[in-house]
Structures are given as C-alpha cells and as structure tokens.
Structure 1
C-alpha cells in the first residue's frame, strides 16, 4: 500500500482482482420499483436497485482498464462517465444489490484482461493450391454453362 492509500480503510474498498480495487465512495445506489409480475408487492416496495459507478472520477483503476470498461459498458455508460446497472431479478433489495455489484465487478474484471495482439500470418502453400484448384473448378463449371449450341433443323 502506498502512502496515499494508507488513509483508505479496508472496509471502504471492494476488490476487483488481486491488486485492483474500487472505493465504495465511487458507488451510489437508488432503489426503484421493479417492473413485471409480482402481485401487489411490486407496486408497494422498491426492491430493484440502480447501481451507479463513477468511472470517470475513479482514481484507483488504471486508464487502460477504465477505457476498456467504458467500451464494455456500451449504452450503460452515461455522458457523465457513470456506469449504470439496474438489477431487479430478485424479490429482495439485498439480493438485487449483490447482483448489481457482482455484475459491475464482472465487467471490471473483463476490462482488466488485455486483448491479445493479432499476429499477421501468411497462407500456407497447401491453402494457396486448394484455393487455386477451387477457382479452376468453378471456372470450368461456368465455362460449361450456356454452351448448348444451336440446332439448325
């Protein structure tokens, strides 16, 4: 832990990977009414959670991870740089809260994976020959078309 991180308690941190973490201060939750079936309970109790993660203001994640996370978030990223996740699969607030947080952490874990650079390769001699043979065969088939000749009776 560096000198800047010494004042941050372990309770206010959420581990993303072994070395990376986010701060609870970068998260905010709003409880809203869930949509869909659920009887009378769905109209009275706000069990769905809308989790907001301030990606732009986050200082614990490296820039490359943040840019990949922004790309992975897609339409869930607001213009203010917040990732918004809505969880309403479960009937209780606590389960929806856990679900939203786990989905956010999964997105951030995917963002930590560096894409493998593509290495250009040349086609093999066998594949070149197969391609040319296929072209010749198609050409022969086309050559045979329409060559019925006229029948002068």
Structure 2
C-alpha cells in the first residue's frame, strides 16, 4: 500500500536551481529545475521490510545518507517540474514495492517434444538425401 500524495509532500524536501536548456533570457532569472529529496528511513508510513526493499531496489538513486533524489528540469515552469517529480517519486515507490510473483515451473508437453524431434528427423533425412552416392 502506498502513502497518499499529502503524506509524501509533508516528508519531502524540494530544492530549486537554475535549469539548463531552452528558455531564452528567462532561463537566467528563474529557478525552474526542481530536485525532490525523500528520506526513506525517517518516513514512518513504511514498515521495516518495505524500507529494506526500497533501499535495495532504489540504491542507485540514493546517496550515502540514504536520501532518494528525483530531479526534473524538462519544463520551463517550476510548478510543472515539481508535479513531475511527485509523480516520478510515486511511480518509483510503486515499482520498488511491487513483489514479483514466483514463477511456477512448467513441464514441456510431450506433443511439443515429439513435434520437435519429428521436425529434426525430417531435416536430417532431407540432408542425408542430398549426399552424393558413391558407386
């Protein structure tokens, strides 16, 4: 179960800075790049097992202090980048907490094996018939 948007916003820290890319003269004045910093360890909503799973699955996005960083600078608007970061974070948490179903091993049906062997034998026979017969 995932926390709702408001709970995430209460514990998230937003940092803004100047973004690169298009924007003309405005790009030098407006801090439109938004970095969302989320501390998984101090977030009370997750159980200890979920926190451990998040740490393992999202370790490449975390820094040495265990803070999860999500950055967005696609749009010229700070508000849009902030919204995108929140959506990205929720998606990351969803994917990281999703438990993969255990694969149930299946046996190859006899009909499939027989068909493969029959096809293999017919190919071998075809190639045998191509050989030049010595007299």
Q: Secondary structure at the match of 2:24?
A: coil
| Equivalent position of 1:5 in the other structure | none
Q: Secondary structure at the match of 1:139?
A: helix
For the pair 1:130 / 2:119, whether they are aligned, the reply is no
Normalised by the size of structure 1, how large is the TM-score? 0.70
The 3 A distance-change label for structure 1 pair 140 and 63 is farther
Of 64, 77, 98, 2:62 maps to 77
Q: Secondary structure at the match of 2:107?
A: coil
Task: Identify, as 1 or 2, the structure richer in helix.
Answer: 2
Give unmatched runs, 5+ long, in structure 2: none
| Equivalent position of 2:10 in the other structure | 24
36-45 vs 74-83, which deviates more?
Answer: 74-83
- The structure whose RCO (Cα within 8 Å, separation 6+) is larger is 2
| Equivalent position of 1:115 in the other structure | 100
| Equivalent position of 1:97 in the other structure | 82
Give unmatched runs, 5+ long, in structure 1: 1-13
Count of residue correspondences: 132
**Contact 2:58–2:96, Cα closer than 8 Å, also in 1:** no
Normalised by the size of structure 2, how large is the TM-score? 0.77
